[in-house]
Amino acid sequence: MKFPRRTRLLRNPFDATAYAAVFFLMVIFVSLGSRLYTPGVKINLPTADNQPGTDKPTITVAMDEHGRYYFQNRMVEAAELKNNFTTATKQSPEPLTLVILMDKAVQFEDLLQLQLLARDAGISEALVATLPKANASLVRP
């Protein structure tokens, strides 16, 4: 006896709704995950108000809590940093100002050593970058 075959494979057209939903969920997870982790060195800047600024060209160096130097997004040693300072001062037509992004926990001796490196390279002015203090009138209880 011969049975009629009524079932056809893939009778319905391809439904992409489920695949689109999974794709958008993956996009959301990847975008949220990438924002939660920011690569780099964590530096807690000190807070202060009414600090002077500068209108001169600047050169920026970051210092972490262990006294390590970071120049142009990479860690450098003191000798290499001095060479970079010397090169920058020779290329600049105006005197440079050193802007120091330092952690709150940096020892004074480390800060002094960085300023001496800059002075030996020809940079006479150094400023410490700070965050402004929170204004009490803007804070709501």
pLDDT tier at 110, thresholds 50, 70, 90: very high
Point out which residues pair with 59 in neighbouring strands. 98
Is 94 within a domain?
Answer: yes
- The pLDDT score that the predictor gives to residue 108 is 92
Is 65 within a domain?
Answer: yes
Is 49 within a domain?
Answer: no
Is 9 within a domain?
Answer: no
Is 93 within a domain?
Answer: yes
- The pLDDT score that the predictor gives to residue 46 is 87
The 10 Å Cβ neighbour count of residue 136 is: 6
Indicate the burial class of 106 (C-beta count within 10 angstroms; 0-12, 13-18, 19 or more).
buried
Query: What average pLDDT does the segment 67-87 reach?
Result: 92
Number of independent structural domains in the chain: 1
Is the pLDDT at 83 greater than 90? The verdict is yes
- The pLDDT score that the predictor gives to residue 12 is 65
Q: Is 48 left (phi over 0), alpha (psi -120 to 50) or beta?
A: beta
Q: Which residues form the domain of 67?
A: 58-128
Q: In what order do the strands lie in the sheet with 74-76?
A: 74-76, 69-71, 58-63, 97-102, 125-128
Is 25 within a domain?
Answer: no
Is 50 within a domain?
Answer: no
Is 84 within a domain?
Answer: yes
